[in-house]
A and B are shown apart, each in its own frame.
Chain A
Amino acid sequence: MINAFLRTLGWALVFLLVVEAITGTALSAFYAPSATDAWASVAYVQDRATWGWLVRGIHFHAASVIIVISGLHLLQVVLAGTYRKPRHQAWWVGLGLLGIIIAIAITGFVLRWDQAGFWANKVEVGIAGGTPIIGDTVRELALGGNDQGNLTVTRFHMLHVVALPALAAILTVLHVRFARKVGEPRDAAQPLRDLVAMAIAMAAVLTLVVSQHGVDLGPPADPAQAYDARPLWFIRWLFELRHLAGSAEKLAALAAPAVVGGILAALPIVDRSGTPEGRARRWPYVGAATGLFAVIAALTVVSIARDANNDARNKAMAAVDKQAAHARDLASRYGVPATGPLDVYATPPMWRARTIYATRCRDCHDAASDKRKGPIIAPGHGGRAWLEAFLKDPNGATFYGKTKLAKTDNAMKPVELPASEMTDLVEALYAESGAPDVDVAKRDRGRAIFEKACTDCHALGEGVAGTSAPGLGGLGSRDYYTHYIGNPKSAIHMGADSEMPRFDKELTIVERDAMAGYLVWLRSATNSQLDALGPL
């Protein structure tokens, strides 16, 4: 009875291989094999395509289940001694098939081109490059050239999607044929048992898929950002072995799979125990093979447990997860720029200006900064209400109050005017920004007031400095801001009174222009609109 169920493992494997072929075909209709598009296309399948996460999840987790069942299948054959003649050919082909399946999984993991796939690929290619004599050539053939790039992705895609699956299909057919050469009495209940096994395997896959909402996808590959790379779980034992091997690690990584494969392949040759002697003489071989399994399992568990207890690593990984969620959120909202997946970080509205603000302006200008030295820059800055409040109390806390200038005789005096004249003056200043909603009559009256009340110090003509205070021509326009940020100490602006550093060397004209565009946007923005721009 137990044997009858153990025999189902083979068919469960064939079933899962077919599942991989079907889901893989569907995924290949979405995947774009290039360094610029790979991550973006995977993120699209995972987060945006209908049921994409499900198909991708099945494709990923079925591979894990295939490797688990392959291990059980292998163990079952070892225990039953059915690797011996006349099934030795099936044994050898099966071992080859398992090798190919592992290679398919490894090459597939690279294709997502996220941090995990990219760095795992870097390390794997580094190990392959350590092969004596032919190392450099192997490395270049694997990379498709001198470094990771487009041709690396296309090459691993070719291996994962075409070459290795074709080989696996051929070996599967051969394996089944060799295994069935020795006729066994067919039991009428066996097909049903096989189907039940397939259902159980699929249930395991779906459980993994649902619990992880498909499968994870990290932040896009970034050669400048370190990543604590780990291989997939089923080659974890090699990672651990290298860890233990110290300076002999390269040997360990390359030789260990060869040794394990060699021992297993040699079983049918060395194990001559025939039927007459019975099981008694087979125990050393069975012992050796199961011992090998036990060692591999132990190394895997130790390695995973060590990481699980590594707080520094857990913290770093949590940060990576957060970054991944951010990158994928941006990809879903704004799309990934055709220039490459790292540019996805720059897709939030006015990202460049907001980044500059956060790094260069925030300390001195943000309401929340305890190091503030200048006027607060916030939504409404430069608008009518702001202008009026400023004119009434230029040295108030939210305006020039924190500057050195406010405490000197050069500080601007509050403007005292009747309410209607104040509105007119505000309109005249507001009009300088080029805003489209200017009341022309008010503006003209305001200009007349400016002539009387302000020209002792200021000027309103284009490109003209005031006698002792900033020229206000173009105040609040994009050009004005670009120029002001470039050099606030210019004679036309604040002159020597300004404590703000000049940015014409630190920021490019494009950056200053982006900053100016942001300030113009802020003028008519509200706090909730600013919040709606989302995180950087």
Chain B
Amino acid sequence: MAPPKPDRRKFLKLATSAVGGGLGLIVVAPALRLLGEAAGSTTVKTPIDPIDVGAVERFPVDTPIKVTIVAAEVTDAWTSARDVVLGAAWVRRTGDKSFEVFSAVCPHLGCGVDFDGKQFACPCHDSKFALAGAAQPGAVAKRGLDSLEHDVTADGRLRITWARFALDTEEKRPA
């Protein structure tokens, strides 16, 4: 066979990349779109209503008590489950019916914060927080513990509105 003419060669080259590229795109694009769905989608849905954590009398004044936040129902992609543990909060009773409630999620990278008897301490990267939640000098966390909204019902039960916040930022904003 005679060698193809230059313009024919050009056409063949163009056509090959067009058909090949098109075929590739048809396969790859849907797969990437599927994987990319994750960005900006709420796959784990937790209820936003306040969660009952017990009677007010349960909490001694001034001593932080850790409570487990249990959601009535959570959907996680294709499963739904009842009574799901979402996380934990530190509750400090400051008066008769007044409380300070902090998420136990470290504002640094999300580890669980403990109370060492005097202050809050994160085991992972050693951030310390004062009783009132402020980050202590030397903490790698950029802000203090995140306070959670809460109220006391007429029949004397403490309810906490669970929320997660963006990690490792100076300002507290919802995640």
B111/A242 in contact, CB under 8 A: no
A147/B43 in contact, CB under 8 A: yes
B42/A145 in contact, CB under 8 A: yes
Q: How far is the CA of A482 from the CA of B35 in the complex (A)?
A: 52
Q: Contact check: which of B78, B113, B168, B175 meets A130 at CB < 8 Å?
A: B168
Of B9-17, B21-29, B79-87, the stretch lying at the interface with chain A is B79-87
Residues in A neighbouring B72, C-beta threshold 8 A: none
Given A140-B39, A226-B104, A228-B123: A123 and B109 interface contact (C-beta under 8 Å): yes
Q: Contact check: which of B36, B40, B69, B112 meets A225 at CB < 8 Å?
A: B112
Q: How far is the CB of A283 from chain B (nearest CB, A)?
A: 39
Q: Contact check: which of B88, B110, B164 meets A224 at CB < 8 Å?
A: B88
Q: How far is the CB of B67 from chain A (nearest CB, A)?
A: 9
Main secondary structure of the interface of B (DSSP, over half): loop
Q: How far is the CB of B72 from chain A (nearest CB, A)?
A: 13
Residues in A neighbouring B125, C-beta threshold 8 A: 242-243, 249
Closest to A243 in B: B125
Q: How far is the CA of A147 from the CA of B86 in the complex (A)?
A: 11
Q: Contact check: which of A34, A126, A149 meets B109 at CB < 8 Å?
A: A126
Q: How far is the CA of A153 from the CA of B125 in the complex (A)?
A: 25
| A105-145 residues at the B interface, CB under 8 angstroms | 119, 122-123, 126-127, 129-130, 137, 140-141, 143-145
Q: How far is the CB of B118 from chain A (nearest CB, A)?
A: 14
Q: How far is the CA of A149 from the CA of B80 in the complex (A)?
A: 12
Residues in A neighbouring B123, C-beta threshold 8 A: 226-228, 313, 316
Q: How far is the CB of B124 from chain A (nearest CB, A)?
A: 5
Given A151-B43, A228-B123: A123 and B110 interface contact (C-beta under 8 Å): yes
Closest to B54 in A: A506
Given A122-B109, A226-B112: A339 and B164 interface contact (C-beta under 8 Å): no
Interface flag for B130 (CB, 8 Å): no
A137/B140 in contact, CB under 8 A: no
Residues in A neighbouring B124, C-beta threshold 8 A: 119, 123, 228-229
Q: Contact check: which of A127, A146, A227, A250 meets B42 at CB < 8 Å?
A: A146
Residues in B neighbouring A313, C-beta threshold 8 A: 123
B81/A339 in contact, CB under 8 A: yes
Q: How far is the CB of B77 from chain A (nearest CB, A)?
A: 4
B81/A340 in contact, CB under 8 A: yes
Given A149-B43, A247-B140: A141 and B111 interface contact (C-beta under 8 Å): no
Q: How far is the CA of A126 from the CA of B122 in the complex (A)?
A: 15
Residues in B neighbouring A146, C-beta threshold 8 A: 41-44, 175
Residues in B neighbouring A247, C-beta threshold 8 A: 140
A126/B167 in contact, CB under 8 A: yes
Residues in B neighbouring A78, C-beta threshold 8 A: none
B112/A35 in contact, CB under 8 A: no
A144/B112 in contact, CB under 8 A: no
Q: How far is the CA of A147 from the CA of B165 in the complex (A)?
A: 11
Q: How far is the CA of A143 from the CA of B39 in the complex (A)?
A: 9
Closest to A340 in B: B81
Q: Contact check: which of B40, B77, B78, B140 meets A140 at CB < 8 Å?
A: B40
Q: How far is the CB of A116 from chain B (nearest CB, A)?
A: 12
Q: How far is the CA of A127 from the CA of B167 in the complex (A)?
A: 9
User: What total of chain B residues lie within 8 Å of the partner, measured CB to CB?
Assistant: 38
Interface flag for B98 (CB, 8 Å): no
Closest to B35 in A: A141
Interface flag for A342 (CB, 8 Å): yes
Closest to B69 in A: A224
Q: How far is the CB of A218 from chain B (nearest CB, A)?
A: 14
Interface flag for B76 (CB, 8 Å): yes
Interface flag for B94 (CB, 8 Å): no
Q: Contact check: which of B43, B76, B109, B113 meets A127 at CB < 8 Å?
A: B109
Interface flag for B153 (CB, 8 Å): no
Q: How far is the CA of A129 from the CA of B108 in the complex (A)?
A: 12
Given A119-B111, A126-B110, A222-B85: A144 and B168 interface contact (C-beta under 8 Å): no
A224/B85 in contact, CB under 8 A: yes
Residues in B neighbouring A147, C-beta threshold 8 A: 43-44, 164
A249/B44 in contact, CB under 8 A: no
Q: How far is the CA of A494 from the CA of B61 in the complex (A)?
A: 34
Closest to A246 in B: B140
Q: How far is the CB of A222 from chain B (nearest CB, A)?
A: 7
Residues in A neighbouring B111, C-beta threshold 8 A: 119, 122-123, 226-229
Given A126-B167, A246-B140: A149 and B41 interface contact (C-beta under 8 Å): no
B112/A227 in contact, CB under 8 A: yes
Q: How far is the CA of A228 from the CA of B104 in the complex (A)?
A: 14
The interface bits of chain B over 85-97 (1 if a CB of A lies within 8 angstroms of the residue's CB, else 0) are 1111000000000
B77/A141 in contact, CB under 8 A: no
A145/B79 in contact, CB under 8 A: no
Q: How far is the CA of A242 from the CA of B140 in the complex (A)?
A: 10
Q: How far is the CB of A157 from chain B (nearest CB, A)?
A: 13
Q: How far is the CA of A425 from the CA of B42 in the complex (A)?
A: 66
Q: How far is the CA of A126 from the CA of B104 in the complex (A)?
A: 16
| B52-72 residues at the A interface, CB under 8 angstroms | 68-69
Q: How far is the CB of B143 from chain A (nearest CB, A)?
A: 13
Interface flag for B38 (CB, 8 Å): yes
Interface flag for B114 (CB, 8 Å): yes
Residues in A neighbouring B38, C-beta threshold 8 A: 140-141, 143-145, 151, 155
Q: How far is the CB of B84 from chain A (nearest CB, A)?
A: 8
B113/A226 in contact, CB under 8 A: yes
Q: Which 8 A-B pairs have the closest CB atoms?
A: A226-B112, A145-B43, A126-B109, A228-B123, A149-B76, A147-B44, A224-B88, A150-B77
Q: A129-B168, A150-B76, A224-B112 are in contact. List 20 more A-B contacts (CB 8 A).
A: A36-B81, A119-B111, A119-B124, A122-B109, A123-B109, A143-B43, A146-B42, A149-B76, A150-B77, A151-B38, A224-B86, A225-B88, A226-B88, A226-B104, A228-B123, A242-B125, A247-B140, A339-B81, A340-B81, A340-B84
B contact residues vs A (CB 8 Å cutoff)? 35-36, 38-44, 68-69, 76-79, 81-82, 84-88, 104, 108-114, 123-125, 140, 164, 167-168, 175
Q: Give 29 CB contacts A-B under 8 Å.
A: A34-B79, A35-B79, A36-B79, A119-B111, A119-B124, A122-B110, A123-B124, A126-B168, A130-B168, A140-B40, A143-B43, A144-B77, A145-B38, A147-B44, A149-B43, A150-B76, A150-B79, A151-B76, A223-B86, A223-B88, A225-B88, A226-B111, A226-B113, A227-B123, A228-B111, A228-B123, A249-B125, A339-B82, A340-B81
